[in-house]
Amino acid sequence: MTITQVLARAIGIPVGKPTRMSNRELANRHYVLVEVTDDTGHTGIGYTYAGTAGAFITKAAVDDLLAPVYLGAEQDDIYGLWSRAYQETLLAGRRGAVIRALSAIDIALWDLKAKRAGQPLAVLLGGSTAPQPAYASGGYYQPGEGEWTEAIVKEIAFNAAQGFTDHKIKVGGLTVAEDARRVAAAVEAIGDGKLSLDANNAYHSVREARVAIEAFERAAGDVPLWWFEEPLSPEAIVGHGELARQIRTPVATGEIHQTRWEFRSLIEAGSASILQTDAGVVGGVTEWLRVAHTADSFGLQMAPHWHHNLHVHLTAAVANPLVVEYFALEKGIYNFELLLTPRTRLRYQDNQVFLPDRPGIGIELDEDVVAKYEISS
């Protein structure tokens, strides 16, 4: 069977309310949807997050740079096509929007392959259909939610009502002292569960990040923090390694890093004990699996960033999963599931997310909603 069509669509969805993290404000989420169709009429769906803007750059990379590599090619030659597509990016740039575009096409091909096999993607990849451990993500800075500590306690209560005992909140957007108070409030509200902290590259040096996490550790008291996420710039690979050797809390990073070669550098530098590889960023399912298997040989665990509809399959198919990041649609922050039919949104219960029993990734686009948010210029 051969690939007859590669269709990319740019999507822009406003967030539910004014929201910020440590280093930027959020008004919109831009996604690119990719559908790959073969000569029998079967279609696979892939997608990536393009950023708070920039969907057209990613869509253009699909249409102008990568789709010509795939059109007319054998659909099952996923690894070979990835290599040829990656070679095609040599002059355009092998990072950023280009690799996100490659990720979306690759995800669509794996979805297509699993659909043709009549299996969930996890099963096609040799994995289990058992529920996967998950945590409730959020803790952004949202004005209008009361005092910062009150807002955190309120959100932890919401997460708990959904059945989650483990949580993640943002740090780095306030002073260290203010964020420490939020950490203390979260720890008290959580009780027996776990808390991780996401800095979104807030700190400018190893020393600055160390001072911050030590304050947060003191605020948490006798409760160990689960991990300290992205304390430094993604380029600070050596710095993450230095920090990891100086602090008690495990370091997690990798959500912005792309391809197995960047992850090789992270692993060699000892930059993290938890890798947050994002299939929509790293190069798709193909590259995510390569990173996960390499990480396993170094005793590192995978806690992928975002895209729980896809990552529940990938964590189920490798030997070193830690947890899946779950974003409640009601929070209006990670809003990708608005584009899906309600019956194909991910199910959750008791700190777990459930693998769909449908073939492929198991998602179905709500075309009316997609049309509502599709952007054409």
Residue ranges per domain, the chain?
3-118+367-373, 123-353
CA angle, 41 then 42 then 45, to 5°: 130
The pLDDT assigned to 234 comes to: 97
* Residue 41 tokens, joined: 């009429």
At 214, the pLDDT band (50, 70, 90 cuts) reads very high
Burial classification of residue 10, based on how many CB atoms lie within 10 Å of its CB (0-12 exposed, 13-18 middle, 19 or more buried): buried
The pLDDT assigned to 72 comes to: 98
Distance CA 199, CA 263 (A): 20
Residue 284 has pLDDT above 90, yes or no: yes
Interval 82-95: pLDDT, tens: 999 999 999 999 99
The pLDDT assigned to 262 comes to: 98
Phi (first) and psi of residue 161, to 5 degrees: -65, -25
The pLDDT assigned to 350 comes to: 96
The pLDDT assigned to 243 comes to: 98
Residue 377 has pLDDT above 80, yes or no: no
* Residue 280 tokens, joined: 């929509």
Interval 300-336: pLDDT, tens: 999 999 999 999 999 999 999 999 999 999 999 999 9
Instruction: List helix spans (H) across 142-255.
Output: 148-161, 176-190, 206-220, 237-246
- For 3-118+367-373, the fitting CATH number among 3.40.50.10710, 3.30.390.10, 3.40.630.30, 1.25.40.10 is 3.30.390.10
Among positive and negative, which fits the CA dihedral 68, 43, 336, 120? negative
Interval 49-79: pLDDT, tens: 999 999 999 999 999 999 999 999 999 999 9
* Residue 182 tokens, joined: 């939020």
Residue 215 has pLDDT above 90, yes or no: yes
- Tell how many helices (H) and how many strands (E) occur in the chain: 14, 13
**Sequence-separated (6 or more) residues with CB below 8 Å from residue 350:** 163
Strands 274-275 and 301-302 turn out to be parallel
Distance CA 197, CA 216 (A): 9
Instruction: Give me the CATH topology for the region 123-353.
Output: TIM Barrel (3.20.20)
Total length of the chain: 377
Distance CA 195, CA 249 (A): 11
Burial classification of residue 147, based on how many CB atoms lie within 10 Å of its CB (0-12 exposed, 13-18 middle, 19 or more buried): exposed
Interval 108-149: pLDDT, tens: 999 999 999 999 999 999 999 999 999 999 999 998 888 999
Distance CA 233, CA 253 (A): 10
Question: Nearest-CA neighbor of 155 among 117, 185, 118?
Answer: 185
The pLDDT assigned to 146 comes to: 87
Residue 355 has pLDDT above 90, yes or no: yes
Supply the mean pLDDT for the chain: 97
The pLDDT assigned to 102 comes to: 98
The pLDDT assigned to 196 comes to: 98
The pLDDT assigned to 376 comes to: 87
SS3 assignment, position 192: coil
Question: Nearest-CA neighbor of 199 among 6, 7, 20, 22?
Answer: 22
* Residue 307 tokens, joined: 């895209």
Residue 334 in contact with residue 325, Cβ under 8 Å? Answer: no
Interval 225-272: pLDDT, tens: 999 999 999 999 999 999 999 999 999 999 999 999 999 999 999 999
Interval 36-45: pLDDT, tens: 999 999 999 9
